[in-house]
Chains A and B, each alone.
Chain A
């Protein structure tokens, strides 16, 4: 509905009332075509699940630009890591990795030890595949979004929401596994009188959602904001209609923000993974609170 100013065929130019704001939003938003601006656009198929399928019937599952980006990221991930994985399979214990395998090993070791092991502690091995995949997925989405004509999938609330739902389930399953079903339910009632359970349990269930929700909003806002800032800086020159302004203000600043975004791409992927593993660690910690105590002791 809001995509009205940017329907296909309308990006011909200034003749239309195409405000800079609309153009920026068009770039930041999802769309049903993959535009390569001066050269044209590829219309993406629209489709929906047949109404006969139970539960998901009638769902609009059109392939959008973001979906294509996600697929590109998925293919890139599978290609790169199958090569790296096969290298490791072929490699002896005494050999050190080289080239791409070495770079990826640094990232994998960082996530495995500094993020997963440091925050989850005992039993972190079970969660490393998930954490590694989430990290690489977000990182590659962020980086591919910086390529011209690309679109940052992680700048879309739907994508980050889905990822955080996965995190949410991983966290809750870890919690149930660590405390048992009874312990998990007992945790929801947090030692209040049984007559108050009817009030406490819904609030505690809402509480389970609010932490990952904070995580989602953070990631989404950062990725979307970075792009909006870059595009705004570029559009300053169009608004002022001055090449001097373009050369002096827009290009240097946009370049700076662009470099910043490469850093932010890593940072956001790291923070999402970090928060997920922190929540897993908090959910699986026996006798909540002793971890903080340890930390406090270690600090003083």
Chain B
């Protein structure tokens, strides 16, 4: 039984069958041609198109990401620039204020100095006028004294005594 099986196996399974080869070849070629036209063409082109679609959406997503990153970077730059601007403005303001204060202080000091000088001037003038008035007064007194002397007696000693006492009087009074 086993040997018959082996003989059958060797005899039949490996027998060349030209008819089967012929039909297999013909059928396979026909199937290949039909499927190539009917199925593989549309399926593969659809798959390729989808692959391309996926690739392009990935590309687009990356592009969008890059764009948004660029925008973010730009925004950051702008922000930091604005920060710097604000800093600069504040610093400038401070400097200006400082300068203004210094100027004002100087001006005030000048003004006060001027006022003091003016006051000094007016004091000086007042003093001089007072001296003038005093001098006139003294001259008047001297003239009146001389008149008095002349009127009373023209005694020389007397006169000397009178004048001396008068001058003494004046200088002690003035001091």
Contacts and interface: CB of A to CB of B under 8 A. Distances in A.
Are chains A and B touching directly in their complex (CB below 8 angstroms)? yes
Interface of A: 1-3, 19-22, 24-25, 28-30, 48, 56, 59-64, 66-67, 70-71, 74, 77-78, 81-82, 84-86, 88-89, 91, 93-94, 104-105, 108-109, 112, 125, 128-130, 132-133, 136-137, 153, 156-159, 161-163, 165-166, 224
9 contacts: A22-B8, A59-B19, A60-B19, A64-B19, A74-B30, A81-B38, A81-B40, A88-B42, A133-B36
Interface string B32-68: 1011101111111011011001000000000000000
A154 B7 CA distance: 21
Given A19-B4, A132-B35, A159 B9 contact: no
Interface string B10-36: 011111111111111101101110111
A30 B28 contact: no
B68 to A, nearest CB: 25
A24 B2 CA distance: 11
Given A64-B20, A85-B39, A78 B34 contact: yes
Contacts of A81: 35, 38-40, 43
Nearest to A90: B42
Contacts of B18: 59-61
A105 B22 CA distance: 31
A2 B15 contact: yes
A264 B33 CA distance: 27
B17 A25 contact: no
A166 B23 contact: no
B86 to A, nearest CB: 50
Contacts of B42: 85-86, 88-89
Given A137-B28, A158-B21, A224-B13, A19 B1 contact: yes
Given A29-B12, A61-B23, A64-B17, A128 B28 contact: no
Please list the 9 inter-chain residue pairs (A to B) with the smallest Cβ-Cβ separation, ordered nearest first. Answer: A21-B5, A81-B39, A85-B39, A2-B11, A25-B8, A162-B24, A61-B19, A158-B20, A2-B12
Contact of B20 (A67, A93, A112, A132): A67
A162 B46 contact: no
B131 to A, nearest CB: 116
B19 A62 contact: yes
B12 A3 contact: yes
Interface residues of B, number: 42
Contact of A158 (B5, B24, B35): B24
A129 B19 contact: no
Contact of A78 (B17, B20, B21, B38): B38
A71 B26 CA distance: 10
B32 A133 contact: yes
Given A82-B38, A158-B17, A133 B12 contact: no
Q: Secondary structure of the A side of the interface?
A: helix
Contacts of B34: 78, 82
A216 to B, nearest CB: 12
Given A86-B42, A157-B16, 8 more contacts: A2-B8, A2-B15, A30-B12, A71-B23, A93-B50, A133-B31, A156-B13, A161-B21
A82 B2 CA distance: 47
Contacts of A2: 7-8, 11-12, 15
Nearest to B4: A21
Central interface residue in A22, A24, A133, A157, by most chain B CB within 10 Å:
A133
Contacts of B11: 1-2
A63 B24 CA distance: 11
Given A28-B13, A60-B19, A105 B39 contact: no
Nearest to B31: A74
Contact of A21 (B2, B19, B25): B2
Contact of B31 (A56, A62, A94, A137): A137
A85 B23 contact: no
Contacts of A66: 20
Nearest to A140: B31
A61 B24 CA distance: 11
A95 to B, nearest CB: 9
